[in-house]
Chains A and B, each alone.
Chain A
Amino acid sequence: DPEFSAQTVWMLAVRDRRDRAAFEALFDDFAPRLKGFMMRGGMGAAQAEEIVQEVMLTVWRKASMYDPARAQVAAWIYQIARNRQIDVIRKERRPVPEDIGGFPDPEPDGGQVLAVEQEAGALKEALARLKPAQREVIEKAYMGELTHQEISDQTGLPLGTIKSRIRLGLERLRHELKDMR
């Protein structure tokens, strides 16, 4: 679908066709940003690259779990990266939730995918409008550098309407799952 973002199209090509050229495009797009993100979080360049390597391999191996109706590629990769980073830093396996059950719809609801992308666009703008100091605090929070209490004190985490969107997506998924039983 030409209306989807390039990242989503690449990711679906990887998921559905094991398309290596699309994977390379994903790598070129995300690897430097992942590395930058890890390094801003205090990691050295070599360790950051180790994580980038593992994260990108996980993207390839777990591609079948990717659901564009629930998450943007960046959001999905972010969580893989944070989990891996924590495992490395704390040397313990981080508890992760159960998968939602079943594989994502091979023919995703285009409207839902676009809704997720629109929300991500709105989120990007909201983040861009922040004052640099504010953005820095939020980035710290999402790099795991703030405690639960410190996050509680930061009232302005920019969630906005994305929550209701994702909730709608889950609602739809739940109905689908019910129909499958």
Chain B
Amino acid sequence: MTAIAHPTPDALLAAYATGSLPQHYALVMATQVSLSDDARATYEAHQAVGGSLMANGRGEAVSDGLKQNVLALLDAPVHEKPRQVRKGPLPGPVMEALNGAEPRWSPLGMGIRQCIIGADRHGSVRLLSIPPGQAVPDHGHNGMELTLVLQGSFSDETGRYGVGDLEIADADLEHTPIADPGETCICLAATDAPLRFSALLPRLLQRVFRI
């Protein structure tokens, strides 16, 4: 097994496994677990801890009819919507969030495109498409920004990120991610607060494009 350059912090996968991450971040983590065996191993290790706590804790007697109810339903037909599967560089959880539709890209300038998957008062999650060699304007963060690479790679002040790698940027980091030469870099990025761009023009863009 090759060493991973940017191991995802245990606490982040714990927060995802235990269900305490907000929805936008949870989408990024579900996608990372789909892409990275290392992330999956950590995620499943947390399930083991959760399972142990659940199975070795005090039980509460269930009502008399519960078991009979369950047994009676075992053969009942289930109408469950099938889960969306991977399409090109977009893993299943992303396709699920897009309801199976193609991403609707909108230009951000300089060849960069985005597709907002979800945005509310808690923040946003979006796909970003960055042409090879192109830089994303220098920006800081108000909250935590999670950026997961789905295709290609990018580099910034903190290193190089390839498919399945997650960059965690907090308020302390000012960075200028640049897509590496070769393939168009596609990322899934979630923030819990609007980004603040350093340059004036991007700040205007920020309002227009809801970054």
Contact = CB atoms under 8 A, between A and B. Distances in A.
Interface in B80-99: 83, 85-86, 91-93, 96-97
Interface of A: 20, 23-24, 27-28, 30-37, 39-40, 45, 48-49, 52-53, 56-57, 60-61, 70-79, 81-83, 85-86, 90, 92-98, 100, 119-120, 123-124, 127-128, 138-139, 141-148, 151-152, 157-159, 162-163, 166-167, 170-171, 174
A158 B56 CA distance: 15
Interface residues of B, number: 64
Interface stretch (B47-55, B103-111, B130-138): B47-55
A163 B41 contact: yes
B49 to A, nearest CB: 6
B53 A127 contact: yes
A45 B30 CA distance: 30
Given A57-B70, A171-B1, A71 B47 contact: yes
B178 interface: no
Tell me if A's interface is mostly helix, strand, loop or mixed.
helix
21 contacts: A37-B57, A71-B48, A75-B47, A78-B47, A82-B50, A85-B19, A94-B19, A94-B23, A98-B86, A120-B52, A123-B52, A142-B18, A142-B50, A146-B15, A146-B18, A157-B10, A162-B49, A163-B42, A167-B41, A170-B37, A171-B37
A79 B47 contact: yes
